[in-house]
């Protein structure tokens, strides 16, 4: 293996003949093999948009039920624009990357206010919307409006890496720009949306990260990696660093069938989401000190501490080692602004990220 920084900076564009074969074979294959997915029912730009946001870093099978519920709850761009923030987040609960929902909501409101509810069909306008980056710009413009704009995602980068034996590290942002130049040459005038989707579909179904199904690949005849038997070596990608381990305490405070919940800060991990009161960066050694400091900060007093259990939750970049601690709240002058008593049987009305759902299950189900 060559070192990763030795990748060629030159963009070697595919020949006209290769372009021809890829276009024809891929479009024909897509026509016969594409999956029947809910966002392929029509080309409503709003529906395409929602699907593209949900699909970011998220599997198709995971997205489908969320997509169906979301579109049935917010069937039009106007209905989403008019919705309360809480309702939008609640519909996103469990999907992860919650800033996607906030950005989508904000962008949809902008489209209704600035563009009369019509999703823009110009790169300059749509790429300014919150949560719409280079990939989503290309996806919406090509799929919904049949514009010849690249939509280069992880699938496309993997397909191109193999098809043209591109050695660049696909985790580098600069690599995507190179891939976009190739895509611009490859996309046919006639059906850019189908072609972009065909590229992604190929990556998802045939040109998979592990064990690619080269024997069934419609572009096998022009694939350089296959010709060289190197399909398992490509694409190149820097190994991810493993999540950093952090000790965390969730505090379980119940009184008269009510429990204290906490609204998380507006920035950072699980921003805006409901949670149990959480002590982050807690040292496991001395709970008392940790709790005293916590009580000082919140201007409250906690007594009768009992450890109720432990829980691990691994985010993409952080590993929470959670201790569930039950406590009683001594009478205090006032509750912190971010805290609220809620009836146990009303917990389901709030949007909790999954890590807190798991904790609640453990605590409530005896």
Partner DNA sequence: GACACGTGGGC
Partner DNA sequence: TGCCCAAGTGT
- Taking CB under 7 A as the criterion, which residues in 201-260 touch DNA? 201, 203-204, 208-210, 237, 239-242
Enumerate the active-site residues: 52
Tokens in use for 260? 């204290």
Catalogue the E-assigned strands of the chain.
Answer: 244-255, 258-263, 274-275, 278-279, 302-314, 318-329, 339-343
Cα torsion 137, 143, 145, 147: sign: positive
The window from 73-81, 135-143, 224-232, 326-334 that contacts DNA (CB under 7 A) reads 135-143
DSSP secondary structure, 100-157, as one string: HHHHHHHHHHHHHHHSTTPPP-SHHHHTTSTT--HHHHHHHHHHHH--------HHHH
Q: In which element (H, E) is residue 71 found?
A: helix 60-73
Is the Cβ of residue 57 or residue 228 nearer to DNA in the bound state? 57
Is the Cβ of residue 273 or residue 302 nearer to DNA in the bound state? 273
Report the first-to-last Cα separation within the chain, whole angstroms. 54
268 binds DNA (CB under 7 A): yes
* Rounded Cα gap, residues 229 and 47, in angstroms: 40
Nearest one of 241, 243, 251, 202 to 363, comparing CA atoms: 251
- Taking CB under 7 A as the criterion, which residues in 91-130 touch DNA? 94-99, 103, 130
- Taking CB under 7 A as the criterion, which residues in 143-182 touch DNA? 153-155, 158, 172-174
Interface residue with DNA among 64, 123, 269, 342 (CB under 7 A) is: 269
Q: How far is the CB of 210 from DNA (least distance, A)?
A: 6
* Rounded Cα gap, residues 275 and 353, in angstroms: 8
Q: In which element (H, E) is residue 91 found?
A: helix 85-92
51 binds DNA (CB under 7 A): yes
45 binds DNA (CB under 7 A): no
Tokens in use for 283? 């040292």
The window from 115-123, 136-144, 284-292, 333-341 that contacts DNA (CB under 7 A) reads 136-144
Instruction: Specify burial of residue 243 (Cβ count, 10 A radius: 0-12, 13-18, 19+).
Output: middle
| Largest CA-CA distance found in the chain, in angstroms, rounded | 78
354 binds DNA (CB under 7 A): yes
Q: How far is the CB of 92 from DNA (least distance, A)?
A: 9
* Rounded Cα gap, residues 307 and 322, in angstroms: 11
The window from 16-24, 74-82, 265-273, 296-304 that contacts DNA (CB under 7 A) reads 265-273
Is the Cβ of residue 130 or residue 258 nearer to DNA in the bound state? 130
Q: Spell out the long-range contacts of 280-283 with Cβ–Cβ below 8 A and sequence spacing 24 or more.
A: 280/246, 280/248, 281/246, 281/247, 281/248, 282/247, 282/248, 282/249, 282/323, 283/247
Report how many residues bind DNA under the rule CB under 7 A.
Answer: 61
Interface residue with DNA among 8, 15, 24, 57 (CB under 7 A) is: 57
Q: How far is the CB of 339 from DNA (least distance, A)?
A: 20
Q: How far is the CB of 48 from DNA (least distance, A)?
A: 9
197 binds DNA (CB under 7 A): yes
Q: How far is the CB of 21 from DNA (least distance, A)?
A: 22
Q: How far is the CB of 139 from DNA (least distance, A)?
A: 6
59 binds DNA (CB under 7 A): yes
Instruction: Specify burial of residue 87 (Cβ count, 10 A radius: 0-12, 13-18, 19+).
Output: middle
139 binds DNA (CB under 7 A): yes
131 binds DNA (CB under 7 A): yes
Q: How far is the CB of 54 from DNA (least distance, A)?
A: 9
For binding to DNA (CB under 7 A), which residues are involved? Answer: 37, 51-52, 55-62, 94-99, 103, 130-137, 139, 153-155, 158, 172-174, 197, 200-201, 203-204, 208-210, 237, 239-242, 267-271, 313-318, 353-355
């Amino acid at each position: 293996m060559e070192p990763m920084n030795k990748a060629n900076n030159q963009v070697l564009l595919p020949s006209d003949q290769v372009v021809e074969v890829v276009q024809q074979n891929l479009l024909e294959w897509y026509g016969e093999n594409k999956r029947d997915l809910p966002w392929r029912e029509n080309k409503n730009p709003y529906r395409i948009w929602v699907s593209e946001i949900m699909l970011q870093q998220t599997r198709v099978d995971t997205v489908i039920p969320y997509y169906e519920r979301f579109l049935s709850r917010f069937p039009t761009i106007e209905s989403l624009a008019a919705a309360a923030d809480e309702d939008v987040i609640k519909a996103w609960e469990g999907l992860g990357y919650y800033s996607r929902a906030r950005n989508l909501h904000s962008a949809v409101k902008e489209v209704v206010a600035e563009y009369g509810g019509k999703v823009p069909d110009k790169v300059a306008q749509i790429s300014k919307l919150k949560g719409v980056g280079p990939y989503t710009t290309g996806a919406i413009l090509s799929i919904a409006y049949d514009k010849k704009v690249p939509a280069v995602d992880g699938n496309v980068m993997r397909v191109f890496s193999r098809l043209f034996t591109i050695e660049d590290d696909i985790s580098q942002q600069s690599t995507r720009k190179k891939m976009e130049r190739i895509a611009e040459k490859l996309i046919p005038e006639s059906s850019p949306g189908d072609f972009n989707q065909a590229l992604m579909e190929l990556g998802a179904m045939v040109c998979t990260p592990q064990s690619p199904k080269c024997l069934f690949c419609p572009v096998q005849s022009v694939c350089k990696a296959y010709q060289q038997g190197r399909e398992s070596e490509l694409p190149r990608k820097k190994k991810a660093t493993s999540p950093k381990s952090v000790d965390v305490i969730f505090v379980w405070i119940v009184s008269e069938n009510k429990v204290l919940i906490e609204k998380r800060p507006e920035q950072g991990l699980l921003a805006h989401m409901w949670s149990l009161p959480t002590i982050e960066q807690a040292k496991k050694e001395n709970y008392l000190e940790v709790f005293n400091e916590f009580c000082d900060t919140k201007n409250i007093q906690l007594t009768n501490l009992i450890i109720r259990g432990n829980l691990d939750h691994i985010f993409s970049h952080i590993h929470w080692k959670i201790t569930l601690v039950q406590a009683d709240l001594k009478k205090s002058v006032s509750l912190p602004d971010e805290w609220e008593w809620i009836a146990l049987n009303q917990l389901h009305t709030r949007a909790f990220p999954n890590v807190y759902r798991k904790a609640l299950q453990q605590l409530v189900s005896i």
